[in-house]
Chains A and B, each alone.
Chain A
Amino acid sequence: MTIVTGKTEARGRLQPGGSGLLRRIWEHRADYAYVLPAMAVMLIVIAYPIYYTVELSFFNTPPGLQLRDKIFVGVDNYTAILSSEIFWKVTSNTLIWTLASTFISFALGFACALALHRDFVGRGVLRAILIIPWVISAVAASYIWKWIYHSDFGIIGAVLVGLGWADRPPNFIDSVSTVLPSLIVVNIWREFPFAMIMMMAGLQTVPEQLLRAAKVDGANAWQRFWHVTFPHLRNVSTVTILLLAVANFNSFIIPWIMTGGGPSNASHIWITHIYELAFGRQRWGVASAYSVLLFLILMMFGYFYVRALSGNERKDGSV
């Protein structure tokens, strides 16, 4: 008896107008029309590439062969990566790059937002100037800073020599020991405005009454910041830091144009390394395996991102 009932129910579900998920989908069929074009684009240009990258990561293309002549090698690409020396070099570079860029950008942006929160003459102009590095192209930024760091005619070197702090202009981006910090300075230059914008918006949501009440109760500026302002900014801080971290982890243009990963891999991060493996050395399989690993790491970021955003999602009804 029970089995028969189960069968009827199952059959019922498959028909439009039956019960369950399919029926709900059918009832909402008009809604899908709105998201269909977006989904179609995303599916073609995202789902397919992800599938292809995973497939390619199990193959090798010896030099001189075309991509279609790929040879199946199982997990060899993955073991090769994990046992290579450059993997650890690039990974530590990526960690330094991501953590330093993210936290310094965030701290500077947050501090700017706090300093700009109070109204004063010229605030609007100042804010606009501070935002510009974020708007201009990373390619232009890379060239500007390359010129500033230039080992013969660079302006920073000239200032250091002029002040007597150096005998000759230092090789900021041509030297293994200084290249990564020098690039991080450029990256922060481009990114702190984003943190500033986000935190300025966050500051506007802090209730004035609470701050005033705290003041009446005798809290000093630091206490008001720490006990009232900061807790209100937890959400926006989390989202901002996550977005910065992901953007930094995925950086390409600044290191690629300024140094190409050199000298001696000192400024190679994951993304530039993958690009060089694929398009520089035609090692598509290894590059794909790297991409898959990257993908897994980013899914982790994605989990936290979605969780942070879900905290903000409003539960509102439909029409």
Chain B
Amino acid sequence: MSTLAETAARGQARRRMRVDGWRWSGRIFLVFMLLYTALPMIWMLLTSIKSGFAAMQFPPQWWPDEPTLASYQKLLDPQNSVGQDFLRFFWNSLYVSTATTILSVIVAVPAAYAFSRFTFPGRNFLFFAVLLRNMFPAVIFLVPLFILMRAIGLVNTHGSLILTYLTFGLPLAIWLLKGFYDNIPVQLEQAARIDGATRFQAFILIVMPLSAPGIIATAIYSFIGAWNEYIYAYTFLSKNEQLTLPVGIQRFFSENTTDFPGLMAASFIMSVPVVVLFLVLQRYFVRALTEGAVKH
């Protein structure tokens, strides 16, 4: 009896050890991933509060001897030329991203609704044609779009960027929103129809409010995509006063590649709006993003 109990106890202990082993390797792994993820960002922040001279030392100052906000002041000061340029890039990015977001939502909402609810001929073909856009890299479309934009007089305007950003914002927006509409019971609309609403009224009054989280998620996605876009802005715009942030900071620092604190400060400021937006609204975003992929 006692030996049996002992064996059972030993077996249990071994099992507990194995469970603990899994849990511990999981924790060690997470610590490793945390370091991999966070250290580059911490190093960006630490460099951004060094002077140009302090950044250029070997071995590096791990913690800045004399932390300074000079780089940030320079970038955000509308009185000097650096600040003027940088702030203009910032507003350009904000303008282009906001316009793209609003237009994406306006165009994608009805399309996604139709793909979710109606069975018109060609529905599947059109839906997958839209999804296929995600397959193609920006570079393939660059030359012809550049020529197209020149033909319709949009080169060197923010309009060319907004129109182009719509093309890669729309497919994902339609996909995200369709996932949301699929989950809203059709019966709700049918009830409204019975009460005398037209299909369009049912859509506006019943479905739209229910899909608000999906619309928020779609808006974040469009905004982040447009805010971070580089290739088209790099190719379509040539005048300094039109540049968006990703291209702007590149022009900026390609002339003066030694100003790493300035470059890191600019990278940080550029990252703040999208990271804040994402962290505040990530619940909606993550749900929308994964909805289509996890269904069985």
Contact = CB atoms under 8 A, between A and B. Distances in A.
Interface of A: 21, 24-25, 28, 30-35, 37-39, 41-42, 44-46, 48-50, 52-53, 56, 67, 108, 111-112, 114-116, 118, 126, 128-133, 135-141, 143-145, 147-148, 150, 152-153, 155, 158, 161-162, 169, 189, 192-193, 197-198, 200-202, 204-205, 220-221, 235-236, 239-240, 243, 246, 249-250, 252-253, 257, 271, 274-275, 278-279, 284, 287-288, 291, 294-295, 298-299, 301-302, 305-306, 309, 312, 314, 316-319
A45 B137 CA distance: 13
A170 to B, nearest CB: 13
A31 B40 contact: no
Given A41-B107, A294-B137, A305-B135, A46 B167 contact: yes
A116 B30 contact: yes
A137 to B, nearest CB: 4
14 contacts: A50-B140, A116-B30, A128-B279, A132-B41, A135-B275, A139-B250, A140-B268, A152-B58, A153-B60, A155-B60, A197-B286, A201-B287, A284-B143, A318-B117
B129 interface: yes
A158 B61 CA distance: 10
Contacts of B282: 128, 131
Interface string B96-135: 0000000000111011011111111110001011111111
Interface residues of B, number: 108
A257 B249 CA distance: 12
A145 B139 CA distance: 24
B19 interface: yes
Nearest to B150: A67
Contacts of A45: 141, 145, 148, 163-164, 166-167
Contacts of A111: 29
Nearest to A47: B129
Contact of B141 (A37, A46, A305): A46
Contact of B230 (A24, A115, A136, A253): A253
Contact of B126 (A35, A140, A246): A35
Contact of B289 (A42, A161, A197, A250): A197
Nearest to A169: B58
Given A28-B118, A139-B228, A38 B136 contact: no
A252 B143 contact: no
B135 A140 contact: no
Contacts of A135: 224, 271, 274-275, 278
A153 B58 contact: yes
A108 B33 contact: yes
A147 B263 contact: yes
B62 to A, nearest CB: 8
Contact of A316 (B15, B110, B186, B245): B186
A42 B129 contact: yes
Contacts of B118: 28, 31, 34, 318-319
Contacts of B122: 25
A116 B37 CA distance: 15
A21 B122 CA distance: 10
A153 B137 contact: no
B147 A67 contact: yes
Given A31-B114, A35-B115, A197-B290, A137 B43 contact: no
B293 A235 contact: yes
Nearest to A140: B267
Contacts of B27: 115
User: Which of A45, A250, A302, A318 gathers most chain B CB within 10 Å?
Assistant: A45
Given A46-B167, A140-B271, A275 B58 contact: no
Contacts of B40: 133, 141, 144-145, 148, 189
Contacts of A312: 292-296
Contacts of A48: 144, 148
B160 to A, nearest CB: 10
A34 B34 contact: no
B270 A306 contact: no
Given A38-B170, A45-B167, A316-B182, A153 B22 contact: no
B205 interface: no
Contacts of B147: 52, 67
A158 B59 contact: yes
Contacts of B267: 136-137, 139-140, 143-144
Nearest to B93: A137
Nearest to B133: A46
B138 interface: yes
Interface in B13-39: 15, 18-19, 22-23, 26-27, 29-30, 33-34, 36-38
B237 to A, nearest CB: 14
A112 B37 CA distance: 12
Nearest to B33: A112
A205 B60 contact: no
A130 B120 CA distance: 43
Contacts of A137: 227-228, 230, 245-246, 267, 270-271, 274
Contacts of A316: 116, 182, 186
A52 B30 contact: no
B47 interface: yes
A31 to B, nearest CB: 4
B189 interface: yes
Contact of B263 (A32, A143, A275): A143
Contacts of B189: 319
